[in-house]
Structure 1
């Protein structure tokens, strides 16, 4: 990975996850700066990773080649407005991890025509098991695109999208989906408890089953998901009856409706900023 001077504007969980991945993969800590209004999270980042910290965004930006915009969407316009005051931002790569803000809107906020990569990571990124969608605007060259890819690879797998609107599909399939799985596990745990298992045992059974199933998917990329399902489903057996019940109740349409609802909400949110 290229070693550029990088500034993180915002010191939340995603910033911590990315910095952890960088430093643990031998990215020079002295090239990393984090900025945040309050000192608490900054001090923890400096103590854990040996990076530079500041409470002044402009100080962080001035020294950086790459700027990671990691603030809440509702604060982005205010933050970007202050970054542009008396600053020369030309030639810098911007990487946004803020949900709902398009690259064209970021250009407006920054008041220029910059290289911007928009990303959509998910919460498992905190464990280095994330899934991030990326979109590069037309100002992003190959070198910057590779840097952005390497950056987000620090927290998991990545997928580029050709059209920015497809980021909403990334949200539906990866950004929001950990919650879908948690909901499914929650329902399984409750039913296991109704069948007589204690809370802890029910939790252990369903979480280990999900972990094992995910590992089987990852270790068998040559097999379709439908084939993996078929391998577990003996004709006339218990699994077949459970699958039949799911299908009779329209699980595919339920999932499709949920994902479409997530996309619709993402589109609505983009209009708010």
Structure 2
């Protein structure tokens, strides 16, 4: 039986809004074919500019939407699932960190449910995000794969990946923007200490990080270490900074931080 809405979203928070903004403003989805549920009227009011349909009852989404996107906090999922008891849901998309497909399936009491798991990150809100997506349960349907992939292609880049790697993805790209912001903040503060104004230091730091990332993306014939070496000259200035980073075990600092993030994702998976 054909559903009234193409996409239903349970949870109207920041990431859900970023996804909907990309899908609707790119004309991939018509606003009238979207239904969003959230217990917070304030969250629903913030979606008014997209002109989507809204409800405070997530059962409306489960009953009336072809695809159901879960965008609630992982710790709230079981309560949401209980509220949907008795409603058959066939196609599920989840952006909940650490919540495995088997847990989603069990909670929704549906052996026939097909589930896609995605891990988008914060820059999706400005169309420059990175999403890792497990589509394995939809592999028999080209139409389903195209629809789900297109949702995330409209908010940035997309990497197809298996579910067992999604916790690692959380540690790199899901949480990674925070690491980048910390690094930029460190550059800005260092610049201020060296006599720059905050605006000057921020302009220099942001442009340098963005430009460096673009250069990596367009220098596929060079390794990252070769790019580092290209900036360094023997006896010059950059090598002094690089050697300081190495002395302070920057690589180890990053590895330990990512490991801590992945461990937390694994805890949420249990």
Distance (whole Å) between structure 2 residues aligned to residue 155 and residue 112 of structure 1: 30
CA-to-aligned-CA distance 1:236-269 (integer Å, 9 cap, x gap): 2111221122123222222222222221221122
Shift of 1:77: 0.7
Task: Classify the secondary structure of the residue corresponding to 2:46.
Answer: helix
Q: Which consecutive residues of structure 1, in runs of 5 or more, have no partner in the other structure? A: none
Q: CA deviation at 1:6?
A: 0.5
- Taking structure 2 as the reference length, what is the TM-score of the superposition? 0.90
Q: Quote the Cα distance in structure 1 between the aligned partners of 2:221 and 2:88.
A: 49
Distance (Å, rounded) in 2 between the aligned partners of 1:179 and 1:36: 26
Provide, for residues 7-63 of structure 1, a one-character-per-residue CA deviation record: whole Å limited to 9, x for no partner: 011111111111111111212221111111122222331x31222112221122222
1:31-50 matches, cutoff 5 A = 31-45=33-47, 47-50=48-51
Query: Given the alignment of the two structures, is residue 243 of structure 1 paired with residue 236 of structure 2, yes or no?
Result: no
Distance across 2 between alignment mates of 1:156 and 1:134: 12
The whole-number CA distance in structure 1 between the counterparts of 2:9 and 2:234 is 54
CA distance in 2 between counterparts of 1:186 and 1:140 reads 42
Aligned residue in 1 for 2:124: 125
* Conserved 8 A contact 2:74-2:268: no
Q: TM-score, normalised by structure 1?
A: 0.89
Name the Cα RMSD after superposition: 1.8
The more displaced of 165-174 and 180-189 is 180-189
Greater shift, 139-148 or 245-254, is seen at 139-148
Partner of 2:102: 104
SS of 1:5's partner is strand
Which residue of structure 2 lines up, in the alignment, with residue 19 of structure 1?
20
How many residues in Structure 1 have an aligned counterpart in Structure 2?
Answer: 263
Report the equivalent of 1:170. 169
Corresponding residue number in structure 1 for 2:190? 191
CA positional deviation for 1:69? 0.4
